[in-house]
Structure 1
Amino acid sequence: MWICLGNSLALAACSTAVCALISLPLAQIFARRDFPGKAFWQTILMAPLILPPFVGAIGIQQIFARFGALNHALGLVGPGVAEPHPIDWLGAGGFAGVVAMQSLHLFPILFLNLTAAMANINPAMREAARGLGAAPGRVFRTVTLPLLAPGFFAGAILVFVWAFTDLGTPLVFGWYNVVAVQIFDKVTEAGFNPFGYALVLVVLLTTTVLFLVSRHLLARQDYATQGKASAREDLVPLRGRGLACAVAGLAGVSALALLPHASVILQSLSGKWFMSALPQEWTLERYREVFTLPQTVAGLRNSLFYASLSAGVDVALGVAIAWWLARKEFAGKALLDALTVLPLAIPGIVLAFGYVIAFNVPPSWRGFDLEGLRAWVNPRENPTLLLVVSYSVRRLPFVVRSVHAGLRQMSVSLEEASRNLGASSAATLRRIVLPLVRGNLIAGAALTFAFAFLEVSDSLILAMKEQFYPVTKTIWALMGRIEPGAAAVASALGVLGMFLLFAAFWIANRVLGKRMGNLFG
């Protein structure tokens, strides 16, 4: 256990460190400088969020494997550059590949946290330090960094937890000796091997403590903005060499950020791609197969069904909870508020493992026939109910926070006027509240649906029979096949998921704008 725990901690620490190295200079540029195309570059830097690392890893392997596209491209540059011993870009056992994939996916989260934290720092503090003769480097080290600490560590903890509990990426790269993969493997041994229980407990305690620390740091972040100047700090325009260096750096980071997307798209369009820098054949056949192969059609149908049900559950519960939190005062309100956020701290592998154990209903118990119950709740027989419940539980905060934000912007007087005219609370909610928060509700529901559609951990653990596989489990199954074109079909499924998630983010961003970041922390 200690070896896989150490590997997971090392993986999370390295991914967090790489994210920090990427995000800190970017945040400094975007928070302090003004330059042409700033909005465009910021949009490009958010692109990693629309592609789950589990999917991006498929394309990255095609490029960076020992006999992948990059080594063959280097071979074209000159004989012997990557031959006879191809460069192992992914590192021994895939560790470097997992770190790279997680870092490219997660750095936008830390970048957003740091940019917001920098924008909220009182500029008078830096001006005072410069007025006392401090050099720019010393001002950054002694003034800016300490004030950034709460926002930085809150974002870094979120990245760390995400990397620590990631299941899909280590599976794809073959880095199996980590906590998440070991829990996944121990599901089938849960009846007689306590090792899985111990790992789940370690993960739950670790993530809960880190989540509480993150919440505490965010609560303390106000100390960095106390006494904030009423006038916004003027952004320094970039020109000449400074602008050229900034654009070159942004172009480099953006190219790396978009590399997984490009690799998956190339893989999905390849008719044949083996031992070459680019596909030898190009085709759209893989997209046709996505909608014709029985396995992929079943995966799409199942995911649409599971995600739609979970989104409906979250909308119903989310509206009720958000309305009670925004409009009512009652004992236990703080507890309810905390419980709605708690799912963000519970990794999918923990929730799914717990469901497998809790609902492993036997055929009979003390003479009672339990086959009917077993057919509905035992994931080994039918995971539908548990998949919908797990998707709903983990994505409920999106709807609650989105609707709650809309209710806080809406005047209570409209509801009071409705009730004064004799309308019931239900009628007021249906005719007044829901139409006014419709945009927020759509934004939360869209994110809930998209994330449920592409959920990895719950899907891989709970869906045990092929007839119930959702999209992500179907992708995983296709990657394990040896027949030609299977990986390309998996990539085509991933591309469809990528565009679905992009549409959800676009809808949410149009409605919530800068407040969308509040949904994730």
Structure 2
Amino acid sequence: MKIKIAFFLIILVFAVFFFYPLGYVFTKSFYFSGGFSAVFFKYMFTNPILRESITNSFILGITVTLITACLAIPLGLIISRYKFRGKGLLSGLMLLPMIMPPFVGAIGMRQMLSRFGSINLLLMKTGLLKQPVDWLGGSGFWGVVLMEVLHLYPLMFLNVSTALANIDPSLEEAGMNLGANRRRLFNTVTFPLMIPGFFAGASLVFIWAFTDLGTPLIFEYTRLVPVQIFNMVTDIGENPMGFALVVLVLLMTVTLFWVSRRFAGGEGYAMMAKGQVSRVEKDAGLAGAIPIYVFLGGVIFISVLPHISVLLTSISKEWFMTVLPSETTFKYYGLVFRHPLTVSSIRNSLFLSSISTVLDVGLGLMIAYLLARTSIKGKGLLDAFTMLPLAVPGLVLAFGYVASFSGGILDPRNNPFPLLIIAYTMRRIPYVVRAAYAGFQQTSAAFEEASQNLGATAFYTFRRITAPLISANIIAGAVLAFSFAMLEVSDSIILAMKEQFYPVTKAIYTLVGRIADGPYIASAMGILGMALLAVSLLISNKFIGKKMGELFRI
């Protein structure tokens, strides 16, 4: 009975705070003049600005996905196929871009890639350029592409490397024995077998690039769907076009999520070997290791440029028309803890993230227990509900909250804290569920059965037996949920409308637009946020090890 009540409460939470806002937006997008109409969708493709924004968003998503694929596939092949010194260290360094939100890195990259930024000044100083080059492409498109690629290629790499590791090497050996060269072997055997993992990574990258709000705002590249949706939040009652744009994004992301799940769960790519043989990594040797080091080192160096640029910006006393800062100072780190806006935003984010993490752990444990330890009807539905927040962008959910809860007690215009807590909880609950579920899978149910056979209640058994056994997984999921909530971008920027309620990321965005010391304080806050996320990832990796990558797959 208690299990059924828990199941009902979880479904109710998802119904009210996930499906209701999305359903409200969907309904409003087809409502015009008192009846059903698709006029907003027609206008969406006839209005020049909206049509250009949609086109640019698709071009951006496709461009970022193709470039990340071109990076991730060679990286995955090298890491999974060859043995060389420093492989573990280099593999870890390739995940560094994950510790900084791309919109934070965009602050420093503007300094490096502007017409008279560090890159142009260095190239002109060495005589390689006579005139400065507009690396950002005038509109900022290539700046957004660069930041998205550098931030997202580790996600593609994780999915690709996992897919490659699951391929039975005997199948590739059979292809080579039949005379296939390396190129033909990859095209006809390796790539088809890794398609599920590749498509999962590509879907995640495309959705993220298509729906990212923070990075285009920093580069002032406004002709994109997320920026148009953000601009329409302020007049959501008068301009219903925002509903149609949100539905467009929602349909696209859910479709990709569904197709990706079908690929991952399909039988068309299953390997029929009776027992999979572990792969013997080929020793690269000195001659083979040199190009590997050059390639991996180049990718890592370019990927940490945003981190370096933000760090340099945060310690710059003066940085104008010079390759590096002419003077350095640490005063902006002190201002982070004295500036009224930053102090209140840090306090707000700590409060919001702490509450949402507690809710994530409570709900996540209940869901993971139901999935791993019970045979209740609807487990498949619950599992799908739990993973859906990974597919629905924060931009869509935040817009739905503003639209559906305006005028009520949860109106974010009055106080966004309740909806920010709910949004953070819903967005990060998949991480806690996956971490806890992995713990349940690794723990035998026999211990719990023995406890209950001796007269212990289910709650006592969970508190004294199960929870201690999966505590490492709980801590890992909670740490990730907390750190990602601290640095959540879309929900914070859209829902926090008054300065007194700004979380950290909204404060950073606001400071970037202020003259004088604004960008420098924002960079200092970005570095502190990066340090928080880095420590969180290290702690989580310490607790759950190789299963860490599973948390970032859809």
TM-score (norm 1): 0.95
Residues of 2 paired with 1:323 and 1:132: CA distance?
49
Deviation at 1:221, TM superposition (A): 6.9
Maintained 8 Å contact 1:318/1:403:
yes
1:480 equivalenced with 2:492 (yes/no):
no
3-state SS of 1:292 partner: coil
Maintained 8 Å contact 2:170/2:277:
no
Q: Paired residue for 1:51, among 89, 100, 107?
A: 100
Residues of 1 paired with 2:77 and 2:313: CA distance?
36
Q: Which amino acid in 2 is paired with 1:301?
A: R
Cα RMSD over matched residues? 1.3
Q: Which amino acid in 2 is paired with 1:293?
A: H
Structure 1 match to 2:465: 432
Runs ≥4 in structure 1, deviation > 3 angstroms?
A: none
Q: Paired residue for 2:481, among 444, 448, 451?
A: 448
3-state SS of 2:234 partner: helix
Deviation at 1:225, TM superposition (A): 3.4
1:98 equivalenced with 2:144 (yes/no):
yes
Maintained 8 Å contact 1:45/1:108:
yes
What do the CA deviations read for 1:221-246 (whole angstroms, capped 9, x no partner)? Answer: 78343316543121111113221111
User: Residues 320-331 of structure 1 correspond to what in structure 2 (within 5 A)?
Assistant: 320-331=366-377
User: Residues 30-429 of structure 1 correspond to what in structure 2 (within 5 A)?
Assistant: 30-78=79-127, 81-83=129-131, 86-220=132-266, 223-227=269-273, 229-361=275-407, 374=409, 377-429=410-462
Maintained 8 Å contact 2:246/2:396:
yes
Structure 1 match to 2:497: 464
Maintained 8 Å contact 1:121/1:224:
no
Deviation at 1:415, TM superposition (A): 1.0
Residues of 2 paired with 1:491 and 1:408: CA distance?
42
User: Could you list the runs of 5+ residues in structure 2 that have no partner in the other structure?
Assistant: 1-49
3-state SS of 1:223 partner: coil
Residues of 1 paired with 2:348 and 2:320: CA distance?
32
What do the CA deviations read for 1:389-413 (whole angstroms, capped 9, x no partner)? Answer: 0000010111111111101111111
Residues of 1 paired with 2:342 and 2:399: CA distance?
25
Residues of 1 paired with 2:315 and 2:189: CA distance?
51
Residues of 1 paired with 2:360 and 2:459: CA distance?
18
Q: Which amino acid in 1 is paired with 2:440?
A: L
Residues of 1 paired with 2:98 and 2:82: CA distance?
24
User: Could you list the runs of 5+ residues in structure 1 that have no partner in the other structure?
Assistant: 362-372
Deviation at 1:82, TM superposition (A): 4.2
Q: Paired residue for 2:70, among 13, 16, 21?
A: 21
Maintained 8 Å contact 2:105/2:310:
yes
Residues of 2 paired with 1:501 and 1:229: CA distance?
39
1:509 equivalenced with 2:510 (yes/no):
no
3-state SS of 1:138 partner: helix
Maintained 8 Å contact 1:299/1:468:
yes
3-state SS of 1:279 partner: coil
What do the CA deviations read for 1:142-171 (whole angstroms, capped 9, x no partner)? Answer: 221222222211111111111111001111
Q: How many residues align?
A: 504
Residues of 1 paired with 2:185 and 2:103: CA distance?
40
TM-score (norm 2): 0.89
Maintained 8 Å contact 1:158/1:214:
no
Residues of 2 paired with 1:176 and 1:235: CA distance?
47
